Amino acid sequence: MAFDDPLSRRRFLGGVAASAASGWVRAGGGAAASAPGPKATDELTRLSAVEAVALISRGEISAVEYARALLEQCEAGASLNAFITLRPEQVLAAASECDRRRQAGERLGPLHGLPIPVKDSVNTRDLPTTAGTPALRHFQPREDAPLVGALRKAGAIVLGKTNLHELSYGYTSNNHAYGAIHNPYDPSRVPGGSSGGTGAAIAARMAPLGVAEDTEGSIRVPAALCGIAGFRPTTGRYPTHGCVPISPLFDQVGPHARSVADLLLFDGAVTGSPTSAPAPVSLSKVRLGVIRPFWFSGLDSEVEEVTTAALDKLRRAGAELVEGDLPQLPHFIELITDPVQNHDVMPSLTRYLAEYHTGISFEELLAQASPDVQRMIRPAITPGTHDFVPDAQYEEIVRVHLPGLRTMYQEYFARSGVAAIVFPATILPAPRIGEEDMEVEVRGRRMPLDEAMARNIAPGSTAGLPGLVLPAGLTPSGLPVALEFDGPAGSDRSVLALGLAVEAVLGKLPPPRALSRVSLQPKAARTEAERP
């Protein structure tokens, strides 16, 4: 975690406590003794977003008190390296203003006083947006991304900017410029990517709700590996302008949380939909699609065991598992998923860099990027290579193949009557940090780690479907395993309502063990002063 001012742990905690105390007096307009009694940090950090907002809005806790507890948890988990930028004084000042507004009787938004970590690829007017890459280390956007603006309008506070896989180009969040992010359930392992910082922060109780971003799994993979809930909405449901892009056809921001109710709160705050939970869904009336030939083949044995047990729970709760097949799916994914991103990454980034006045060209951005990211992007932009996609090929993808994939899904949902397709989100649980450059072996088959992370989640984001990830259980070694539920395009609220029922059956995972204060930073990580 990076602080703009290199405070020691003692100075950090002391400064937070002092600022919080003075902030509460300012907010209350009187003596601190008139404020609600303080709650233990661990009690406050266990709150869901729905619970925290309700308590703050009623004045049962102050926004400053709650922000202080989250900041203390951020410091306790600093070794996870979940944040690139965190400014405690700025957070506490915003929280104090929230308390002032409540005391003044002003109208409060649905996220009033809630600190929300934001992936550092989403523009913020008061914090840098680095995209986790050296060339943008000092880039300060002039205005918020529309999504951040909507969250602030709803009363939220930006807690800080979370670390990520550099330029969102990877599934591990082993960022070679800003240091690897660590999984709270086992710090020797990755949290998933690219939104690994947000995923780790939510799992480690640094906040109950956070902003992630997904092109081909970057919301859902970290949610799966960190044992939390993640939601990628139908493409276009939330605004993506002001976010460092890969492809306008696939990019989509979305939330990480520890409960489906908090995902619904986020969805309502951004879209204007109801923020309260809809009427409960009875699983006895729900049909769930199971496509074993694609999503269940070649699973790691522990993932398969946890998945099977979770599906049995859903079946016993009354859900009907409808077996089926989509034989065209692998062909469509091969034609569309990687080629679209390979074609779009250079023009998309070029437009972003110019539109937001970064002062950096695409060539300069890539020249300063870490070698692992350069190895992935350069072949995609170099004519004559296997990964380069000419405009004519791209036009055929957009005109023929992508509509064909969407039609295939529409027809499947119509004829099967399923509310969602269910499958394990990833083939493997979280691998160890540093394994991303190696092949992994699953059931005797060797494959690149990216394939093991991406195979199951790629179809939904390619087709633009809403995808909900929920924890299904833990492996014997204590690593999270998750299920994903992909519904028809536009069925976002129905998928989230289904998630409430599924969550009630599967339950939530126990929290990660107490966070160590011993630094776990790998040698590749650098201090704020040493970073490029």
Name the residues annotated as catalytic: 119, 194, 218
Spell out the SS3 assignment of 122-167. Answer: ECECCECCCCCCHHHCCCCCCCCCHHHHHHHHCCCEEEEEECCCHH
Sheet of 420-424, strands arranged across: 83-85, 157-162, 115-119, 209-214, 252-257, 229-232, 467-474, 480-486, 420-424, 287-290, 320-323
CA neighbor of 511 nearest in space, from 204, 219, 274: 204
Under a CB-based contact definition with an 8 Å cutoff, are residues 120 and 84 in contact? yes
Under a CB-based contact definition with an 8 Å cutoff, are residues 25 and 109 in contact? no
CA neighbor of 115 nearest in space, from 179, 47, 180, 165: 47
Under a CB-based contact definition with an 8 Å cutoff, are residues 369 and 377 in contact? yes
CA neighbor of 164 nearest in space, from 120, 125, 124: 120
Q: How many CB atoms lie within 10 A of CB 443?
A: 11
> What does the alpha-carbon distance between residue 526 and residue 178 come to, in Å, rounded to a whole number?
7
> What does the alpha-carbon distance between residue 311 and residue 424 come to, in Å, rounded to a whole number?
10
> Based on C-alpha coordinates, what's the Rg of the chain?
22
> What does the alpha-carbon distance between residue 165 and residue 357 come to, in Å, rounded to a whole number?
23
> What does the alpha-carbon distance between residue 39 and residue 162 come to, in Å, rounded to a whole number?
26
> What does the alpha-carbon distance between residue 163 and residue 259 come to, in Å, rounded to a whole number?
22
Torsion of CA 523, 196, 242, 251, to 10 degrees: 120
**E strands, 309-453, in order:** 320-323, 420-424, 439-442, 445-448
Handedness of CA 118, 123, 129, 133 (dihedral sign): positive
CA neighbor of 218 nearest in space, from 259, 185, 247: 247
Residues 6+ apart with CB under 8 A from 291: 324, 325, 326, 329, 421, 423
Three-class SS state of 25: helix
Rounded to the nearest 10 degrees, the angle between the axes of helix 63-76 and helix 49-58 is: 140
Whether the upstream peptide bond of residue 491 has omega within 30° of 0, thus cis, is: no
> What does the alpha-carbon distance between residue 273 and residue 182 come to, in Å, rounded to a whole number?
35
Length of the chain in residues, anyone? 532
